[in-house]
Amino acid sequence: MVSQFSLVQPTQPVSNRRGRRRAVFGGIDLGTNNCRMLVGTPAAHGFQILDSFSRVVRLGEGLYETGKLSALAMDRAISSLAICADRARRWTGDEFTGPIRLRAIATEACRQAENGVEFVHRAREATGLPLEIINPREEAELAVESCAPLLRKAGRRALLFDIGGGSTEIAWVRLDSGIRPELIGYLSLPVGVVTLSERCAGACYQSEGFFSLVEDIITMLRPFESVHRIGEEIRRGGVVMVGTSGTVTTLAGVSLKLDRYRRGLVDGVSLTRRAVDDALAEACALGRDGLSRHPCIGMDRVEFVLPGCAIFAAIHELWQAPRLMVADRGLREGMLMRLMRDMPTHKHRYNA
């Protein structure tokens, strides 16, 4: 298969409105629940977004029970990837002088599934995208990379977490080590909003079941705490807790009483521990019907909110940071920032 996108050769610049010429970069993140794409060009403070796409594909639907990606889930994912490929080609046509520099990744669903590698090869053939499965460490690194602009002058350390569809990534980060945040340690928990909703969605709507899940997840986190002594570092001060997941941005929307979700009001906001506790309590009290009517949630995400809240509540309880920084950014932004920084040396790595 010949890729229609460039990963190895430097990107040729494209024209902008003022006649200058800039390179174009793209990142595609195929997760357990969503397929997302971001296209951007370097700007003074990071990058300027040229195009974005997000669609719920539920690639991991049924994976917990069967161990495999279902035919329907794979079809949905490939259909969305094909849309991403078509939109990316807008930046590679005759109007421009070179191909977009693009990376496409798959995460936990493809790591877990018996047929994950087979699906990736099929998706590559069907779309022309250079889709690759990344490991949990790189997933944590990309999440940290995406949040780096928010972490400048944030303190000594950061505890960053990303509650995904199939897994939850925890990153323990040194901030006073030099130019960029440095990953000290990471943990990938095999629980996410999709897998947890399939295993015990009903339990999340009952107080006893919810807190039982929280305790189970705390037990999974304790070995990481024992190694890194994060709680002790929090008590010393200078540790910022950062959440990058949809669960956390939803809780921020609840806390801020938004009439509709607004990224500009959520990304980078700092919530007190009391505000976080109140938002968690409100989300749990709303129930399925109330959550589905909430302007920051809606029917397509309602079944994942409380499973995500259970995972977050465990992190929040074990590591009692005084404030939570909310980041509406993730792997796509991390890929773009890394591609822009490493353009001369980045190589295409396919580890499936």
pLDDT, tens only, 216-263: 999 999 999 999 999 999 999 999 999 998 999 999 999 999 988 999
Cα gap 194→169, rounded to integer Å? 15
Per-residue confidence (pLDDT) for residue 294, from 0 to 100 = 86
Whether 349 has a pLDDT exceeding 90, the answer reads no
User: Among residues 44, 51, 55, which one has the least CA distance to residue 24?
Assistant: 51
Query: Is it true that 14-134 and 147-331 share their CATH fold?
Result: yes
User: How many residues in the chain?
Assistant: 352
Whether 303 has a pLDDT exceeding 60, the answer reads yes
Cα gap 257→279, rounded to integer Å? 10
Whether 202 has a pLDDT exceeding 50, the answer reads yes
Which tens digit of pLDDT belongs to each residue from 159-188? 999 999 999 999 999 997 667 899 999 999
Per-residue confidence (pLDDT) for residue 201, from 0 to 100 = 66
Return the H-helix or E-strand segment holding 142. helix 136-151
Average pLDDT over the chain, rounded to an integer: 87
Query: What's the topology of domain 14-134?
Result: Nucleotidyltransferase; domain 5 (3.30.420)
What does the domain layout of the chain look like in residue ranges? 14-134, 147-331
Which residues in 67-81 are b (16+ Cβ under 10 Å) and which e? ebbbeebbebbbebb
Whether 1 has a pLDDT exceeding 90, the answer reads no
Query: What's the topology of domain 147-331?
Result: Nucleotidyltransferase; domain 5 (3.30.420)
Q: If you average pLDDT over residues 59-85, what whole number do you get?
A: 95
Query: How many Cα atoms within 13 Å fall on the side-chain side of residue 346?
Result: 21
Per-residue confidence (pLDDT) for residue 236, from 0 to 100 = 95
CA 38 vs CA 6, 47, 206: distances in Å: 16, 11, 38
Torsion of CA 222, 111, 85, 59, to 10 degrees: -80
Instruction: Copy the structure tokens of residue 156.
Output: 């000594």
Residue 303: alpha-carbon gap to chain centroid: 18
User: Among residues 212, 22, 156, which one has the least CA distance to residue 101?
Assistant: 22
CA 72 vs CA 67, 68, 69, 283, 297: distances in Å: 15, 12, 8, 31, 25
